[in-house]
Amino acid sequence: MRRYSAFAIAREAARYHTGWERAWPSVEPKKHYDVIIVGAGGHGLATAYYLAKNHGVTNVAVIEKGWLGGGNTGRNTTIIRSNYLQDESTAIYEKARSLYEDLSQDLNYNIMFSPRGVMMLAQTEHELRGYRRTAHANRAQGIETRMIDPAEVKRLVPIINLDGPRYPVLGALWQERGGTARHDAVAWGYARAAAALGVDIIQQTEVTGIDRKGGKVTGVQTTRGGISCNKLAIVVAGHSGLLAEMAGFRLPIESVALQAMVSEPIKPAINVVVMANTVHGYLSQSDKGELVIGGGADGFNNYTQRGSFHHIEETVRALIETFPIISRLKQLRQWGGIVDMTGDRSPIIGKTPLEGCFINCGWGTGGFKSIPGSGWAMAETVAKGEPGKLAAPFGLDRFTQGRFIDESVAAGVAH
């Protein structure tokens, strides 16, 4: 892989950009791989990269039924934070956040990480007490968050209305080192770096069956033929239940749509991420000037990737109360992603009832922010055959043992 640099840009400019090579090659699948990863989203690509980088496992194929990053990775609102409540959650989300800080340098690809800060508004007394509890827990966990008063909220976000008609702003939980990154660039950066280490990325190839023998995985059937493997990693977000059924087991998850939208571009108006759980909406501004807007997941199971009018009405109404200045903006586009929700709103990472088959799913609305930490933990699990410290609490067996990791409040709005 040729490294990107200012010198490389100048050299290619001098020869009219005729010397750039493909970011990752298009390859034909081999007959056998040590590890097959199903799903070329951020989590699957990060797993492949850390398998190769951290554990030296390079005979790996990442199989994607569509195009790379075309699922939830390209359909989210790019928020990065680690201010969760439970120790197990903050450990893996903080690992992800810390990896994001240096990811551009690590991958030699600009992911446009922007540590602009994430603010979670408290608009009821109950919510204020809850965020104070989270701030205390974060302090004990070594996570840099703090409570701020309405005056500081107004200083950080001048366009906000503190005295909303239904819910005034009483304070906020503030994580200064949270922020955003470019979702496509994260996928492309991981793909390029993984391919440079020898990983095969196979797009437009759907897995149609999982081969088993004697209770052990032996390979997969695809639209391009059968491929054998020693280990299989299922990392397909909202479609995890379908792949699990192919492998002969069931998952305690539900698949629902999570919708978002962007406004027409405007001049810089807000330089932090604001989340408002009580009125159910959140807002940030992209580098192109669009206001990125989202709310809660749909209240019914579905696999749609389209927007709906009821979501526009509910989310925009909530945000106009808090940001009246945006009421006259036009909507530019709207979309949906398919998220997989567990009962405790925490992920599943680890072994499955099928020997040699591993699963990474259930991230719900927290998928993008967790990509580096998720890939790091999943790669360790697949390479060693047992979950490491980060992944161990999130095993599938926790649902039969009753040891839930309840993050329903921390993940309550959408991100």
SS3 379: helix
SS3 51: helix
**Per-residue pLDDT reduced to its tens digit, 68-105:** 999 999 999 999 999 999 999 999 999 999 999 999 99
Give the H/E segment covering residue 34: strand 32-38
Q: Tell me the C-alpha distance between 45 and 34, whole Å.
A: 16
Those residues with Cβ within 8 angstroms of residue 356's Cβ, 6 or more apart along the chain or in another chain: 216, 217, 230, 231, 232
Structure token pair of residue 61: 């194929």
Work out the burial of residue 301: count CB atoms within 10 Å of its CB; fewer than 13 is exposed, 13-18 middle, 19 or more buried: exposed
Give the H/E segment covering residue 127: helix 125-141
Length of the chain in residues, anyone? 415
The confidence score (pLDDT) of residue 412 equals 47
Q: What are the distances in angstroms from CA 198 to CA 44, 138, 194, 311, 358?
A: 15, 39, 7, 43, 21
Structure token pair of residue 113: 């990480």
The confidence score (pLDDT) of residue 410 equals 59
Q: Tell me the C-alpha distance between 20 and 8, whole Å.
A: 9
The confidence score (pLDDT) of residue 314 equals 85
In the numeric block, the tokens 């200012």 are attached to 6
The confidence score (pLDDT) of residue 415 equals 45
* Superfamily (CATH H level) for 27-82+84-109+183-252+344-401: FAD/NAD(P)-binding domain (3.50.50.60)
The structural domains of the chain, with segments of one domain joined by +, span 27-82+84-109+183-252+344-401, 118-178+255-342
User: Tens place of pLDDT for every residue, the chain, 415 residues?
Assistant: 788 999 999 999 999 998 898 999 999 999 999 999 999 999 999 999 999 999 999 999 999 999 999 999 999 999 999 999 999 999 999 999 999 999 999 999 999 999 999 999 999 999 999 999 999 999 999 999 999 999 999 999 999 999 987 889 999 999 999 999 999 999 999 999 999 999 999 999 999 999 999 999 999 999 999 999 999 999 999 999 999 999 999 999 999 999 999 999 999 999 999 999 888 889 999 999 999 998 888 888 888 888 888 888 888 888 888 999 999 999 999 998 999 999 999 999 999 999 999 999 999 988 999 999 999 999 999 999 999 999 999 999 999 999 999 887 655 444 4
pTM: 0.95
The confidence score (pLDDT) of residue 409 equals 61
The confidence score (pLDDT) of residue 165 equals 75
Q: What letter does residue 156 receive in the DSSP assignment?
A: H
Q: Tell me the C-alpha distance between 281 and 263, whole Å.
A: 14
Structure token pair of residue 96: 């992800």
Got the DSSP string for 70-81? -SGGGSS--EE-
CATH class of residue range 118-178+255-342:
alpha beta
- Which residue blocks in 15-86 are alpha helix, DSSP H? 42-55
Q: Tell me the C-alpha distance between 147 and 121, whole Å.
A: 10
SS3 339: strand
Do the beta carbons of residue 377 and residue 92 sit within 8 Å? yes
**Per-residue pLDDT reduced to its tens digit, 57-68:** 999 999 999 999
